[in-house]
Amino acid sequence: MTPRRRRMLLIGSVLLGVVVSAGLALRAFEQNLLYFFSPSEVAAGEVPSERAFRLGGMVLDGSVEREAGSLTVSFVVTDYAHQIPVTYTGVLPDLFQEGQGVVARGRLDPSGHFAAEEVLAKHDENYMPPEVAEAVARGREAQGQ
Amino acid sequence: MNRVGARQAVSSRTRPVLSGLMPSLPVWFHRWGSPPHVYRLADRLRPWLGWIAALLIAGGAFAGLVLAPPDYLQGDSFRIIYVHVPSAYLGMMAYVLMAAAAAVGFVWRIKLGHAVAVSAAPIGASFTFLALVTGGIWGKPTWGTYWEWGDARLMFELILLFLFLGYLALRAAFDDQDKADRVSAILAVVGVINVPIIHYSVEWWSTLHQGPTISKLDSPSITMDMLAPLLVMIVGFTLCFAWLVLNRLQGQIVERERDARWLRQLVTERTR
């Protein structure tokens, strides 16, 4: 009985130690594990000015403008509280759309303009057939009017 | 005291304690720890698991790839969900099973516990690998990238693969099986913390990976015609996993019990 109790205690204390240390480590690394910053965090000045970082949010409806004859695109990333204007030259992912999520890596210039070197599309956890999506959009419109 | 007397003395000491609440528990526990019993049970279960899994996976794949409607945003590329989600879920389940079995083997010195853990490890590693690969294939057309270093969900899933491989590598480093069982069990238990971290990573940190779709039981954010094939695939993959584990477990039992009389009898019965 005693050796078995001892082994049980050993496994239990190992597990407890791991849980506690993982919890502390994850708390300490919380900021570093953030994959992107939101426009509000950028506006609050929580973002390094010299270093490249990732900006995440939604592409503001009606904000996408393509420069004629080049791959340069400008759009506005918003979290519906703050907005950051972004420019990017390159091929956009297929899912890049107005009203959809986006994660852009780049630098912020002093004027508050974000120059992106890479743009990734972020989609949400909702899946539905096109007809349902249309119905949802119609419903939203009807509610809005 | 003669032998019979000693046995009676032992049974009269243990019986009143155990027979009060759960008279069948010691029998139950003994059976599940008994290699010949589990070997024969696996023999009976294996064909059922294998065939039902094959049917469910074939039906679920057809329903998911042909019958389910395309996604409004991702079109047909969302259909990889029918492989990606079951694989990712089973990778994590396999780890929990491995850690729990190894802990039981460690605490109660039940060899079968370690045998189950060893059986689950390479299969869990394979499903985790499959989840990482299908995730990359899915990520390219939707996110625009196969892999993002720094995304918490992706990183911890990669760590899960390394934990499986580390468990197997650690075992391989010992010549003595008992020692390999005991030491690797501790690694298995330590690594189990990674499983809840993977699950909650998309809620705790901002990630490129989207949040949970179907584990929100009250309102899954997927329509029924898309969800039903996914649930069929999850059940099919789980049965397939059980089938694979039982196959390997039988091999483990044969290897560990190679000198046992019951096994020699079984072999002569079957080769006759």
Tokens representing residue A133 in the block:
């999506």
CB contact A143 to B (< 8 Å): no
Our CA-based measurement puts residue A8 at a distance from the nearest CA of chain B, in whole angstroms, of 5
CB contact B190 to A (< 8 Å): yes
Report whether A129 contacts B69 (CB < 8 A): yes
Residues in a beta bridge with A83: A78
CB-based contact B73 A100, cutoff 8 Å: yes
The whole-angstrom distance between residue B155's C-alpha and the CA centroid of its chain comes to 21
CB contact B206 to A (< 8 Å): yes
Per-residue pLDDT of chain A (145 residues; tens, 9 = 90+): 688 888 888 888 888 988 888 888 887 777 667 788 899 988 888 887 778 889 999 999 999 999 888 889 999 999 999 999 999 999 888 889 888 899 999 998 888 889 999 999 998 888 888 888 888 888 888 876 5
CB contact A2 to B (< 8 Å): no
Distance (Å, whole) CA B83 – CA B117: 24
Distance (Å, whole) CA B53 – CA A61: 46
**Number of alpha carbons in the 13 Å side-chain half-sphere of residue B4:** 0
Helix, strand, coil percentages for chain A (3-state, nearest 5) = 30, 30, 40
User: Using a CB-CB distance cutoff of 8 angstroms, which residues of chain A are in contact with residue B70?
Assistant: 129-130
For A114, residues 6+ apart whose C-beta sits below 8 A from its C-beta are: A42, A55, A77, A84, A85, A86, A87, A104, A106, A107, A108
pLDDT > 70 fraction of chain B, expressed in percent and rounded: 88
Q: Going from the N-terminus, what domains does chain A have, and what CATH number goes with each? A: 39-122 (2.40.50.140)
CB-based contact A129 B69, cutoff 8 Å: yes
Cβ atoms within 10 A of the Cβ of A87, count? 16
Distance (Å, whole) CA B179 – CA B121: 17
For B151, residues 6+ apart whose C-beta sits below 8 A from its C-beta are: A35, B207, B208, B209
User: Using a CB-CB distance cutoff of 8 angstroms, which residues of chain A are in contact with residue B84?
Assistant: none
User: Using a CB-CB distance cutoff of 8 angstroms, which residues of chain B are in contact with residue A120?
Assistant: 143-145, 148, 208
Does the pLDDT of residue B198 top 90, yes or no?
yes
Q: What is the pTM of this model?
A: 0.87
Q: What's the CA angle centered on B66, arms B61 and B68, to 5 degrees?
A: 90
Question: How many CB pairs (< 8 A) connect A and B?
Answer: 122
**Complex confidence, ipTM:** 0.83
CB contact B197 to A (< 8 Å): yes
Report whether B115 contacts B253 (CB < 8 A): yes
Tokens representing residue A45 in the block:
């000045």
CB contact B34 to A (< 8 Å): no
